[in-house]
Amino acid sequence: MTNEAVKVNGYTCKDSTQVTPEHFYFQGLATAAAASNTSTGAVVTGATVEKLPGLNTLGLSMSRIDYAPNGLNPPHIHPRASEIIFVLEGQLYVGFVTTAGKLVAKYINKGDVFVFPKGLLHFQKNIAKSAPASVIAAFDSQLPGTQSLVSSLFGALPEDILVKSFQFKPKQVKRIKSRYQPKK
């Protein structure tokens, strides 16, 4: 018999004799992040299997999203999860786009809940001009994955594809692409 660790969903399963309470504990969602220091005015703090090993094989995770006044969690998808958010504070405009291209959007307030179906493009925007907002998000995946629409398109796709797709001039595409470096 080999001494290799057993991996499930890409993550090592702990030997039950080696498990500690710390594998099931994460305090990173307790405090608001400094969202005003970001270009979009939003910060996502995740509690996924990467930070909370006890989530391995459980099919769930959470995040806290903090928004500066007028902050935006830009359009993105979670390819491996549906998402449900609970508003801790503030007022947000949230929505998703169906596969038929229809926008489903609503203004939500403290105490409200909104659901984003798996794999659909969605966003959240703090509508307050002078007050922050925060939500707690739950996912039906230990690692939902996030693909940002803008950085995926302009950071990865070739210029000629973007020019033809958006009917932009090459100069416009170059300018936008310069803000989004491709992932290595």
Length, in residues, of the chain: 184
Spatial CB neighbours of 168, under 8 Å, sequence gap ≥ 6: 162, 176
User: pLDDT tens digits for 99-120?
Assistant: 999 999 999 999 999 999 999 9
In angstroms, the CA 156 to CA 111 distance is 38
23 assigned binding-site residue: no
Between 18 and 75, where is the model more confident? Answer: 75
pLDDT bracket for residue 49 (50, 70, 90):
very high
Residue 13 pLDDT > 90: no
78 assigned binding-site residue: yes
User: In this structure, what token pair is assigned to residue 162?
Assistant: 């973007």
Q: Do 135 and 86 touch, CB atoms closer than 8 A?
A: yes
pLDDT bracket for residue 15 (50, 70, 90):
confident
Cα distances (Å, whole numbers) of residue 28 to 68, 121, 148, 184: 18, 26, 23, 28
Residue 83 pLDDT > 70: yes
Q: What is the pLDDT of residue 12?
A: 74
Q: What is the pLDDT of residue 8?
A: 64
122 assigned binding-site residue: yes
Domains recognised in the chain with CATH numbers: 7-145 (2.60.120.10), 148-184 (no CATH)
- Name the least confident of 2-6, 45-49, 65-69, 76-80: 2-6
| Distance, CA of 164 to chain centre | 29
Q: What is the pLDDT of residue 2?
A: 54
